[in-house]
């Protein structure tokens, strides 16, 4: 019995880890160089608000293809199936009609080379946010089951340097990005926030929009502008948490509190999934399941707050 109890306590205390790699490629001129490095640093700062997150940031001359591959290989050697992984790409990209490439010091890196490296990471839940120019052309290479892929542009023909990255970073600290007010920001919420802010930027500057972000989380290489139940996109992104709710005593949570927080996140993911399935469900059954989940979520939150 004692052995069983020890095993159960150990299992409860084990928490899935979060791994993040940010790559800011070559700027081409001092203005872009400074801009890309700043966005990468700002993103790193936001991600490190979680003291347990594993964060690697590469930029400028320190972001060669070899160093990118080494960073991803490090994650591959440490992460497990239950962990989460996210890759953020900032900078200039190119597309020659066949291959997408991110501009790096020395040899550039193609979408296929990135995919080959990422496919060795065992984490089942993955996110790739490609915020470079021409990034829409990388969707075909990067998409796979269990991986959310976001691109700042809709194709390889949108070649102007995007501003999407600026607003993606803002989404991680702007309270308005948390549209469901659950204290966390999901990949879907960040996508919608950054896409909305990007569109507003072009409108305010009275410029023709030169970037149109896409998202896919169904392994379909054809991304969508507006993820919703009708097109089947957005479910995974809605459950992929980027920034979690913080508490002053967060680092000292007991195993029981950790279990409750994990349960809360699981219930929120189930609610998101149910909302996406609503269109195909009987209305009475939908309301019954939603009510049960919301009540259980309220009870769990009450236990956390005690």
Same domain, 213 and 92: yes
Q: What is the pLDDT of residues 267-301, one digit of tens each?
A: 877 787 777 677 778 889 888 998 898 888 888 88
Bridge partner residues of 85 (DSSP): 19, 126
The enclosing domain of 162 has a CATH number of 3.40.50.1460
Same domain, 56 and 180: yes
- Which carries the bigger pLDDT value, residue 77 or residue 10? 77
Q: Would residue 293 count as lying in a domain?
A: yes
Q: Give the chain's domain count.
A: 2
Q: What is the pLDDT of residues 51-89, one digit of tens each?
A: 889 999 999 999 999 999 999 999 999 999 999 999 999
pLDDT at 166: 95
Same domain, 54 and 170: yes
Q: Would residue 104 count as lying in a domain?
A: yes
Q: Would residue 6 count as lying in a domain?
A: no
Same domain, 103 and 27: yes
Could you say which of 192, 223, 243 is where a domain stops? 243
Same domain, 215 and 68: yes
Domain span at 276 = 250-305
Same domain, 283 and 144: no
Q: What is the pLDDT of residues 161-178, one digit of tens each?
A: 999 999 999 999 999 999
Q: Largest Cα–Cα distance in the chain?
A: 70
Same domain, 76 and 167: yes
Q: How confident is the model at residue 8 (pLDDT cuts 50, 70, 90)?
A: very low
Same domain, 210 and 257: no
Q: What is the pLDDT of residues 94-136, one digit of tens each?
A: 999 999 999 999 999 999 999 999 999 999 999 999 999 999 9
pLDDT at 164: 97
Could you say which of 194, 215, 243 is where a domain stops? 243
Could you say which of 243, 276, 293 is where a domain stops? 243
pLDDT at 6: 33
DSSP the chain: -HHHHHHHHHHHH----EEEEEEE---SSHHHHHHHHHHHHHHHHHHTTSTT-EEEEEEGGG--HHHHHHHHHHHHHH--TTSEEEEEEEE-EEE-SS-EEE--SSS-EEHHHHHHHHTT---SEEEEEEEETTGGGGHHHH--TTEEEEESSSSTT--SPPSHHHHHHHHTT-GGG-TT-SS-EEHHHHHHHHHHHHHHHHHHTT-------EEE-SS-SS-BSS--GGGT-SHHHHH-EEEPPP-TTGGG--HHHHHHHHHHHHHHHHHHHHHHHGGGS-HHHHHHHHHHHHHHHHHHHHHHH-
Q: Would residue 1 count as lying in a domain?
A: no
Q: Would residue 260 count as lying in a domain?
A: yes
Q: What is the pTM of this model?
A: 0.81
Q: Would residue 105 count as lying in a domain?
A: yes
Same domain, 222 and 137: yes
Same domain, 283 and 203: no
Choose among 162, 32, 85: nearest CA to 151. 162
Same domain, 27 and 134: yes
Q: Would residue 130 count as lying in a domain?
A: yes
Same domain, 221 and 158: yes
Q: What is the pLDDT of residues 206-260, one digit of tens each?
A: 999 999 999 999 999 999 999 988 888 998 999 899 987 644 334 455 778 777 8
d(CA 10, CA 47): 26
Q: How confident is the model at residue 264 (pLDDT cuts 50, 70, 90)?
A: confident
pLDDT at 71: 98
Q: How confident is the model at residue 7 (pLDDT cuts 50, 70, 90)?
A: very low
pLDDT at 251: 46
pLDDT at 269: 73
Q: Would residue 169 count as lying in a domain?
A: yes
């Amino acid at each position: 019995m004692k052995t069983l109890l020890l095993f159960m306590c150990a299992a409860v205390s084990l928490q899935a880890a979060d791994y993040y790699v940010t790559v800011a490629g070559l700027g081409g001129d001092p203005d872009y160089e400074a801009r890309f490095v700043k966005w990468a640093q700002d993103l790193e700062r936001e991600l490190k608000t979680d003291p347990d997150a594993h964060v690697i940031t590469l930029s400028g001359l320190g972001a060669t293809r070899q160093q990118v591959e080494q960073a991803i290989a490090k994650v591959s050697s440490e992460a497990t199936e239950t962990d989460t992984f996210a890759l953020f790409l900032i900078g200039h990209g190119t597309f020659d009609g066949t291959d997408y490439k991110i501009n790096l010091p020395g040899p550039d890196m193609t979408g296929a080379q990135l995919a080959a490296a990422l496919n060795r990471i065992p984490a089942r839940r993955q996110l790739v946010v490609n915020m470079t120019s021409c990034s829409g052309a990388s969707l075909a290479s990067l998409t796979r089951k269990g991986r959310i892929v976001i691109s700042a542009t809709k194709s390889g023909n949108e070649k102007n340097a995007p501003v999407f990255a600026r607003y993606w970073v803002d989404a991680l600290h702007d309270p308005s990005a948390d549209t469901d007010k659950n204290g966390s920001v999901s990949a879907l919420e960040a996508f919608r926030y950054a896409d909305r802010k990007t569109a507003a930027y072009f409108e305010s500057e009275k410029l023709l929009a030169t970037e149109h972000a896409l998202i896919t989380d169904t392994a379909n290489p054809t991304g969508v502008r507006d993820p919703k139940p009708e097109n089947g996109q957005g479910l995974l992104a809605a459950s992929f948490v980027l920034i979690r709710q913080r508490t002053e005593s967060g680092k000292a949570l007991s195993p029981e509190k950790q279990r409750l927080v994990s349960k809360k996140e699981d219930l929120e993911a189930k609610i998101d999934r149910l909302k996406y399935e609503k269109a195909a469900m009987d209305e009475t059954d939908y309301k019954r399941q939603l009510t049960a989940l919301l009540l259980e979520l309220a009870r769990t939150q009450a236990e956390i707050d005690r």
